[in-house]
Structure formats: C-alpha cells, structure tokens
Amino acid sequence: MQRERHFFMSNTEKITGMGAIPHAGGVAFRVWAPHARQVAVVGSFNAWDGTSHPMHAEENGYWYADVAQAKIGDEYKFLLTTEQGALSRIDPYAREVTSSVGNAIVHDAQFDWEGDDFRVASWNELVIYELHIGTFNDEQKLNLPAHFSSVSARLGHLKKLGVNAIQIMPVGEFAGDRSWGYNPSHIFSVEIAYGGPTAFKQFVKRAHQEGIAVILDVVYNHLGPSDLDLWQFDGWSENGRGGIYFYNDERAHTPWGETRPDYGRGEVRQYLRDNVLMWLEEYHVDGLRFDCTQFIRTVNGTDHELPEGWNLLQWINDEVARKFPGRITIAEDLMNNRWLTKDVGAGGAGFASQWDAMFVHPIRLAVVTPADEQRSLAAIRDALCYRYNDDAFDRVIYSESHDEVANGLQRVPQEINPDDPKGWHARKRSTLAAAMVFTAPGIPMIFQGQEFLEGGWFRDTVPVDWDQCEEFRGIVRLYRDLIRLRLNHNGFTRGLCGQFTQVTHLHEERKVIAFHRWDKGGPGDDVVVVANFYREAQENYVIGFPTQGTWTLRFNSDWQGYNDDFRNHPSTDVGAEPGETDGLPCYARLSIGPYSVVIFSQ
C-alpha cells in the first residue's frame, strides 16, 4: 500500500502535495513527467515566459518549483521539453480550469463550511434521488445548462419529497458545456459551466443544511477520451497509445476509447486515490458512486480479470473506511458479483452497496409488459428477496436510473404506453413499480422527475419539465407518502427499514403477491405489503398475516387523492383472525384496486 508522498531537499523542506499549492510565500508547483527533459511553469505571473521559472527534477520523475510571484487566481500551465518537442499541458491535479482546453487556475481551497458536520443516514434509512446538474433546473431562455445555484433552488422540493440523499451524475470538467459527465477531461476540476469548484462547495453546504446528503458519481474506468491533456502527457507512449497515465497495450481498450488508466502504476493509482479523497475532504461529499466497476476489475467487462484494478478498488475503499467512517461508496457493476460488497479483509472490494440489476430488470419488465397474463410474479418475488451477502442494504434498488431511461430506453410511463404516457395505465403501473422500490429491502433510488411522470428519455440537452410537478402533484404526494412510510416517519412501519422479508403469498393467475417486512417484529414494526398486478380489482381476497387483531391500512395507491381518475377502491383496515394461511398463523380478507398496492401495519 502506498503512503502520501513527501518531498525533501537536502537542506530545505519542500511543500508536500501535487499540482498548485498556495502558501504564505507564493505558490508551489509539482508535476509528474518522468520522460520530460525539462519542465517549466508558465502563467499570468510570468507573462507565460518558459525561461522564468524552470522546475527542478526530483526523484521518480517528479518536478518542483516554488514561485513567489504566483498567487491565487493566476492562470498557469506546465511547459515540457520532450523528445517530441515542446508540450504545453494543463496540470493533471488542477482544482480549477478556464475550460477543458484552457488553462489551469491556482485555486483557493479554503472555504467557510460554517461548522458543517453533516452525517449521512445509515444505509437502511437512505432514500436516494439521482439527478443530472445540467438538466435539473436549467436556464431554458438562455439555452444554458443548469448551475449549481439553480439546482439549489429545488432542494426544498426534494426535502419535502422526503429524500435524504441526492446522487449527482459526474461534475468533473468535461468537453463542452453539455454532457452526461462520463467523459471526464480533468477529474480534479469541477465543470465550469455548472459554476466551478466554489459553487459546488456552496451547493453541498446548502444540501447539508436541508438535511440532504450528496453522493457524487465518479469515473475511473476510462478518462476523456476528448480534451484529454493526460494523453501522452510527457511525450512518451508505446503502441501509439496514451503514455504514462494509461495502459499502453490491449488493456487500454474500453467501450469508450483506449483511455483506461494504468491501475498497476503507482503514480496513477495515487492520482485516482487522491481524487477520491479530495471529494470527501475538500468538498464534504457524503459518498461516491463508482461508474462501471466491471471495466476496472476486468479488461473486457466480463471474465478477463484485471487484478490491479480489483486491488485498487480495495485500497481506495479501505482508505475511505479508515479516514472517513460513515461515508458510503457504491459500485455500479450490474454483473451480480457479491464480492464487490464483501469487506476488504474477507477478500472483497469493500463497497458499502451496489446497483442491483437483479431488481430493476424484473420489476421494470413486470410493469411494462402489456398483457397481465405474461407478468411473472415469481420474477417479482425473486427481485424482492435477492441479496448479495448478509446485508439486505448492500444493494441499491430502482425502476429508473439515467442508464435505464436512455440509450434506446424510455421512462417507465412511456415504456408502458408510448401513445399515452400520462394516461391511467402509465400512471397506475409506473407507481406500482415505485411502490416495489420503497417496500423491498435495499436502498431505494428514484431518478429526476420520476415523481411527476417525467416522460421521453434522458438527454443532456432536455431539461426536466417542472410544470408537470404541479400537473401531477397527486403523484408527487404518492411518492412522498411512500417515502414517509419507508423511513418510518410516523413510527408504525419500522419493518420497511429492516433486514427481513418473506414473500408469503403468490398467485400467478390472479397476479397478487404479498410479503411481510420486519426488523425486530411486533406492533409498529411488522409490515404487510399486498400488490395487485392485474387490471381488475380483487374483492374479499384472503391472505395470511403474522398476528391477529386489527391491521391498519397505511397506504392505498388507488386513492383518488393521487389522481382524479384513480378508482378509489374501498380498501380498508382488516381484522386478522387465527387460522394458518400462507404459512402464517392468521388470515384476513381484503379488497385491493387494479394495479395497486396496499400497505398494512399494527
């Protein structure tokens, strides 16, 4: 395992760190360029003169200079003399840039957090809202992507909705002004079109003040591939590939270009690890979601293992757990690999949780399939009960994410009824999927606008339609009510935060499934969820209950208050009587509307 690099001269201690390091006497600069013959730092402080501030060679290919004339706010670059000629490069560790192809800026990392000591909720009490900064609340009249400040203006909506964590798609500086964010040009700098680094800190601070954690999506399976100054950074490369920061053989290849970082090279490993710790320390983010980890741990995304990639994930997760206890790391792997969420000490990668393909695909298929007879309740049962290891919350469950509503896929309402995505069928069955998300064991997540039936498919040029938030305010309330139950706000649905699930009833012909959720069990804890995946109501329907007595109806998705044309089916409290049913000691008769969910507790 590597340790933080410290640099010393024979008589004078040098300043530690990489990139531009402001201090009382100026700015120190350090860069790794092992194949450069000479390196100079040029910038607005020396009229971009390559002879004014040559850098001195250190061990292992590092170069250093301390420039008294430089100050915070100055623009700069590194000028490398190489066998390929003179190369002007943006600092790989630049905390701020003028643009993806511009200059680095000496950034002031100091920020008044006003005592921010926010702590993210425990995994079993997390509710995540995924959003894309550029489209969440953009300036339509100006045709500009959203700014962190404009997204902050919507935090009140998210707080009222009840989510306690937002997961934002990548904000590292990328090519152009509009992007999903998965093409990072400068991973230490925050996208200037969104407001840059200080605006991001202000955004995190504001979210924390609203009681909302911030989880950031990061991309380490590839870099760029465009506007990438790291490419052949110091002139050296092999096989026409990327040079010191990248693999220079077949391991370089990814679906996004031949820009996979060299996970086996110490300086590159340090570069990625330092980036992780920067987000957690300097930006106070509460967790990180690692994009496409299957292309970090394998060469081809399936079976050609890349041991140094796996070891890198272990090292980073171990560092995060030790230095930032309570922060969450989430893997997007989608290959059903339980070792991702096993502890590092047990040989796992050490992630706290991972996106779960075993949930999203069967649940989504269950509601978008046109014919009721073709829905598989057995597949729904398996999705509800699946777990990777001994913790039900080591998976993130959802029916919509940025990947599931793009790349040829639509939003769930659109998939259900392309001709009428706001109609009764689309509303009823999409909210049926949402109810499964919030009642199943796992960390629930929704995607931006899902709570008001955002339609079409996700594009980085199309803003969220906030007019629909008012038009479908009843659906918003449905989501809010589900989240309140999920988080046990009223003290009688603790079981939805619990580890335990038992599917007690499954009727393939009538398309009814019922399951029992609990933590410790008993009144205020035991929850019974009944879902009707059929177009007609179910009357006088018998299912088993854990104990006898009155079971209070806490939620009915067919309530007319959620939409005027919901049928307001007269589901009511039920009285459970002794009599073994569905493997439980008691039973009750209930009624449930079409494509509806009812939730009971004592």
* pLDDT tens digits for range 343-387: 999 999 999 999 999 999 999 999 999 999 999 999 999 999 999
pLDDT at 12: 56
- The structure's pTM equals 0.96
pLDDT at 144: 86
The number of CA neighbours under 13 Å toward the Cβ of 65 is: 21
Residue 260, both tokens: 């996979």
The domain 494-601 having CATH identifier 1.10.579.10: the answer here is no
332 is catalytic: yes
Q: What is the pLDDT of residues 123-158, one digit of tens each?
A: 999 999 999 999 999 776 677 899 999 999 999 999
Q: Which of 229, 291, 460, 519 is catalytic?
A: 291
Phi, psi of 548 (to 5 degrees): -85, 170
pLDDT at 141: 64
Q: Do domains 19-106 and 494-601 have the same CATH topology?
A: yes
pLDDT at 408: 84
Rounded distance between C-alpha atoms, residue 64 and residue 596, angstroms: 65
Rounded distance between C-alpha atoms, residue 153 and residue 398, angstroms: 25
Return all residues near 252 (Cβ < 8 A) that are at least 6 apart: 241, 242, 246, 258, 259, 260
Where exactly are the structural domains of the chain?
19-106, 123-487, 494-601
pLDDT, mean over the chain: 96
Q: For the chain, percent helix, then strand, then coil, each to nearest 5?
A: 25, 25, 45
455 or 106: which carries more pLDDT confidence?
A: 106
Rounded distance between C-alpha atoms, residue 602 and residue 530, angstroms: 15
Q: Out of 205-214, 254-263, 291-300, 456-465, which region has the weakest mean confidence (pLDDT)? A: 456-465
CA 518 to chain CA mean position, Å: 27
Sequential DSSP letters for 394-416: SEEE-S--TTTTSTT---HHHHH
Across the range 234-244, mean pLDDT stands at 98
- Describe the strand order of the beta sheet including 62-67 as a list of residue ranges: 19-23, 26-32, 62-67, 56-57
Please say whether the beta carbons of 71 and 26 come within 8 A.
Answer: yes
Nearest to 260 by CA among 235, 288, 296, 217: 296
Across the range 155-169, mean pLDDT stands at 98
Predicted confidence (pLDDT) at residue 494 exceeds the cutoff of 80: yes
Across the range 221-250, mean pLDDT stands at 98
CATH number of 19-106: 2.60.40.10
Q: What is the pLDDT of residues 501-541, one digit of tens each?
A: 999 999 999 999 999 999 999 999 999 999 999 999 999 99
Return all residues near 117 (Cβ < 8 A) that are at least 6 apart: none
What share of the chain has pLDDT > 70, as a percent? Answer: 98
Nearest to 30 by CA among 68, 70, 1, 57: 57
Q: Which residues pair with 67 in a beta bridge?
A: 27
Rounded distance between C-alpha atoms, residue 170 and residue 220, angstroms: 11
Rounded distance between C-alpha atoms, residue 594 and residue 321, angstroms: 46
Rounded distance between C-alpha atoms, residue 361 and residue 346, angstroms: 29
Please say whether the beta carbons of 337 and 356 come within 8 A.
Answer: no
The torsion angle over the Cα atoms of residues 533, 535, 538 and 539, rounded to 10 degrees, is: 170
Predicted confidence (pLDDT) at residue 400 exceeds the cutoff of 80: yes
Nearest to 80 by CA among 259, 210, 200, 243: 243
Beta strands in 479-573 (DSSP E): 500-507, 512-518, 527-532, 538-545, 549-556
291 is catalytic: yes
The DSSP secondary-structure symbol of 249 reads: S
Number of other CB atoms surrounding residue 326 within 10 Å = 12
- Which residue has tokens 């640099």? 7
- Amino acid making up residue 139: E
Residue 546, both tokens: 């854990």
Predicted confidence (pLDDT) at residue 245 exceeds the cutoff of 70: yes
Q: Which residues pair with 184 in a beta bridge?
A: 174
CA distances for 207 relative to 116, 126, 166, 167, angstroms: 11, 15, 9, 12
- Which residue has tokens 């096993």? 342
pLDDT at 10: 37
Rounded distance between C-alpha atoms, residue 201 and residue 567, angstroms: 46
Across the range 406-414, mean pLDDT stands at 92
- Which residue has tokens 């040098």? 14
Q: Which of 138, 262, 267, 332 is catalytic?
A: 332
Residue 429, both tokens: 């069955």
Q: State how beta strands 165-168 and 574-581 pair.
A: unpaired
pLDDT at 414: 96
Q: What is the pLDDT of residues 557-567, one digit of tens each?
A: 999 999 999 99
> 428-432 long-range contacts, Cβ below 8 Å, gap at least 24?
428/557, 428/566, 428/594, 428/595, 428/596, 429/367, 429/368, 429/595, 430/367, 430/399, 431/475, 431/478, 431/557, 431/562, 432/367, 432/531, 432/533, 432/557, 432/595, 432/596, 432/597
- CATH top-level class of 123-487: alpha beta
